[in-house]
């Protein structure tokens, strides 16, 4: 019996040493040391032994059990350690490696320009209004003193949706919508940024979709000098202290008189260069005193109230400020262009 035990011990130890997984060791433990294992089986036959032999075999059996258990345990530990080392190796990080840059996006330049201009006007007591991009013929044209067959409608090639619905060609309809809300009572002092649409061929200076910012001030006693004062402040804040302004007579159906605002050229300082076409001045927006018809149609008494309005192209303001030479850059989403406007 002792030989048989010895044999079982060698067998179990060899198998334990050869084991490569914890599971194998567990199985070994069950099969050799368990209740149904061969060692137990041997011990069951001890009853047939003499009283002399019994303790010896018993002792031998215990030794074998212990030896096998120890070997299995040791091997288990080794495998666990190896697994841990492997895991640590695979999960190790090299803290000396430089970090990967986080690719931060940037504000679109048109958004920045709108926000900058909004801030300037908010600082002068204006509030920001909005209106729909799908407009009716009435708000986009008629309420702005542009009746159905008015030739000035040709200036703004229009995307019509139905006879009466269109994509607004200008932010000016927000003037009417805002005045209607005021129900004939001033003051009104708003700017309105937004997208507008025109059926133009896209080229370096035209885009079928672009942005405007509209402005409107209506109150008792508003004069053209108020318009000029606001422009002076605005231009110096947006373009810089050194810039001069000039008002040039113009025509818009919704203003009378109308004026275009020019800003002295920053490139040549007014001497004349290619950018300002040798004039020393750059045209930046359209404006004028709100036409009495427009006030009346929007519910304001033109005998009591006067006002001024203006409208500017956001792309033009962005192009002048950042020296961008093609309006299409704002709409082609080329990250080489956009990433130049990252804030640091």
Task: Confirm or reject binding of residue 255 to ligand DAH (CB under 6 A).
Answer: yes
* Residue placing its CB nearer to ligand DAH in the complex, 178 or 255: 255
CA distances from 26 to 33, 34, 69, 136 (A): 10, 11, 11, 82
Q: Residues 149-188 vs ligand DAH: string with x where CB under 6 A?
A: ---------------------x-x----------------
Phi/psi-derived region of residue 221, left when phi > 0, alpha when psi is between -120 and 50, beta in every other case: left
> Smallest distance, Å, CB 212 to ligand DAH?
6
Question: Which residue in 121, 197, 234, 310 binds ligand DAH (CB under 6 A)?
Answer: 310
Residue range at the interface with ligand DAH (CB under 6 A); choices 60-68, 90-98, 261-269, 308-316: 308-316
Q: Which of 198, 311, 326 lies closest to 258 in space, CA to CA?
A: 311
Between CA 112 and CA 278, with CA 214 as vertex, the angle to 5 degrees is 75
Q: Which residues carry a binding-site annotation for Mg(2+)?
A: 256
Phi/psi-derived region of residue 278, left when phi > 0, alpha when psi is between -120 and 50, beta in every other case: left
> Smallest distance, Å, CB 269 to ligand DAH?
27
Q: Contact 216/290 with Cβ under 8 angstroms? A: yes
Distance of CA 21 to the CA centre of its chain: 51
> In 10 A of CB 333, how many CB atoms?
9
> Smallest distance, Å, CB 271 to ligand DAH?
29
Residue range at the interface with ligand DAH (CB under 6 A); choices 62-70, 78-86, 112-120, 306-314: 306-314
Residue range at the interface with ligand DAH (CB under 6 A); choices 15-23, 63-71, 269-277, 282-290: 282-290
Question: Which residue in 5, 192, 311, 330 binds ligand DAH (CB under 6 A)?
Answer: 311
Q: Which residues carry a binding-site annotation?
A: 256
Site size toward ligand DAH (CB under 6 A) is: 11
Helix axes 109-123, 224-239, angle to 10 degrees: 130
C-alpha–C-alpha distance, residues 15 and 25, integer Å = 9
Question: Which residue in 252, 281, 300, 330 binds ligand DAH (CB under 6 A)?
Answer: 252
* Residue placing its CB nearer to ligand DAH in the complex, 287 or 306: 287
Residues in 197-236 at the binding interface with ligand DAH, rule: CB under 6 A: 214
Residues 6+ apart with CB under 8 A from 228: 245, 247
Residue range at the interface with ligand DAH (CB under 6 A); choices 20-28, 88-96, 237-245, 307-315: 307-315
Q: Which of 53, 67, 75 lies closest to 8 in space, CA to CA?
A: 67
Residues in 102-121 at the binding interface with ligand DAH, rule: CB under 6 A: none
**What 8-state DSSP symbol labels residue 164?**
S
* Residue placing its CB nearer to ligand DAH in the complex, 158 or 264: 158
Instruction: Note the residues at the interface with ligand DAH (CB under 6 A).
Output: 170, 172, 214, 252, 255, 286-288, 309-311
């Amino acid at each position: 019996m002792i030989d048989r035990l010895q044999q079982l011990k060698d067998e179990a130890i060899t198998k334990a040493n050869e084991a490569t997984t914890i599971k194998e060791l567990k199985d070994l433990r069950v099969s050799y040391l368990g209740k149904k294992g061969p060692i137990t089986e041997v011990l069951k036959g001890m009853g047939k032994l003499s009283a002399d032999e019994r303790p010896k075999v018993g002792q031998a059996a215990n030794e074998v059990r212990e030896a096998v258990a120890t070997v299995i345990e040791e091997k288990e530990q080794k495998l666990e350690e190896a697994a841990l080392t492997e895991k640590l190796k695979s999960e190790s990080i090299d803290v000396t490696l430089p970090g990967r840059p986080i690719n931060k996006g940037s504000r679109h330049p048109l958004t920045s320009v709108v926000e900058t201009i909004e801030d300037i006007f908010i600082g002068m007591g204006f509030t920001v209004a909005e209106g729909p991009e799908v407009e009716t013929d009435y708000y986009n044209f008629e309420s702005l003193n542009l009746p159905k067959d008015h030739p000035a409608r040709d200036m703004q090639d229009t995307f019509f949706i139905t006879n009466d619905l269109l994509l607004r060609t200008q932010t000016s309809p927000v003037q009417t919508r805002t005045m209607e809300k005021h129900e004939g009572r001033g003051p009104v002092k708003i700017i309105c940024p937004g997208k507008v649409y025109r059926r133009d061929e896209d080229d370096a200076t035209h885009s079928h979709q672009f942005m405007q910012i509209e402005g409107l001030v209506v109150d008792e006693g508003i004069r053209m000098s108020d318009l000029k004062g606001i422009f002076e402040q605005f231009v110096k804040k947006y373009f810089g202290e050194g810039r001069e302004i000039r008002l040039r007579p113009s025509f818009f159906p919704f203003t009378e008189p109308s004026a275009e605002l020019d800003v002295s050229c920053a490139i040549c300082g007014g001497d004349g260069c290619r950018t300002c076409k040798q004039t020393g001045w750059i045209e930046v927006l359209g404006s004028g005193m709100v036409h009495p018809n427009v006030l009346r149609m929007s519910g304001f008494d033109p005998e009591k109230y006067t006002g001024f309005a203006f409208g500017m192209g956001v792309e033009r303001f962005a192009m002048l400020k950042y020296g961008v030479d093609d309006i299409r850059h704002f709409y082609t989403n080329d990250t080489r262009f956009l990433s130049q406007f990252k804030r640091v």
